[in-house]
Amino acid sequence: MPIRHVLLALLVVAIWGFNFVVIKLSVEALPPILAAALRFLAAALPAVFFIRPPKAPFRLVVLYGLAFGFALYGFLNLALAWGMSAGLSSLVLQTQAFFTMALAFALLGERPSRFQVIGALVAFGGIGVIALERIAATELLPLLMVMLAALSWGAANVLTKKAGKVNAVSFTVWGALVAPLPLLALSLLIEGPATVWSALGNFGWSDAGLIAFLAYPATLLGGAIWAWLLGRHPASVVAPFTLLVPISGLLSGYLVLGEVITPVEILGAMLVIVGLVITVLRRAPRAILPAA
């Protein structure tokens, strides 16, 4: 994997880590499902009027939008609204790397190497260390919701890979267009029309700022770069980069929300970094030297 692609992946990691803090703030200010619907509405409009549909089967675009927009952020927003911390959510969600590898093996025939499996296990051990430090304060249902969000993300990764080398921005924008209506319908069903209309009637500049960050840097920019990387590298190589998201998420949660990072969590974060190095940079001599 060329070094410039590694740097792009790390940029996405930083954005997506801070993304959890902004989601936490958004679900405190707005009904959680409505916040997700507004996020993807802003991500899709007005961009779809200027960007052509991706050269990919229509069903893949729809399925990607449902997996990445409707399912992933529906489950995640509810989990954060029901008590999961931003830092712990960023941690647990990274089990998507294992869902991605399993689904890519089952559906795409991608067989991860021994070093990729070992690195992923080491990194997941680091996630486990951090989780054991914090899990006692977390209720089971929000945790399970984040696990379902991780499964949805894994499915979205595989759908992106299956679409091939399509225009990443186009695929992300048109996929985002799929999510708002199902999310709005779910919001009206679960949160109720009165709550939805009240939130929309009191929508202010601070709410708009939160939705703008979630829609543009976190969804469009991050999603487009991620789709571009998945279109050029095996899913089992790209997906493990997200194991660094908990480090960014935990630091952001500490700096912005005052969530505490303990020495045990620092140890877990170090294991995540070691696992990522084993998983990704095992191929470095072949991938980076020609580019240099």
CA 238 – CA 226 distance, rounded (Å): 8
> Model confidence over 257-278: pLDDT tens digits?
888 777 887 888 888 878 877 8
CA 281 – CA 258 distance, rounded (Å): 34
> Model confidence over 158-216: pLDDT tens digits?
998 888 878 878 888 999 999 999 999 999 999 999 999 999 999 999 999 999 999 99
| Number of domains present in the structure of the chain | 1
C-alpha gyration radius of the chain: 18
Tokens of 44: 């899709």
CA 49 – CA 54 distance, rounded (Å): 13
pLDDT at 155 over 60: yes
**Banded model confidence at residue 292, pLDDT cuts 50, 70, 90:** very low
> Model confidence over 14-54: pLDDT tens digits?
998 999 999 999 999 999 999 999 999 999 988 999 999 99
Tokens of 82: 């029901």
Nearest alpha carbon to residue 178 among 225, 223, 230, 226:
223
Q: Which residue segment(s) compose the domain that 260 sits in?
A: 3-291
Query: Is the pTM for the entire model greater than 0.95?
Result: no
CA 46 – CA 256 distance, rounded (Å): 31
Strands (E), the chain: none
CA 129 – CA 146 distance, rounded (Å): 17
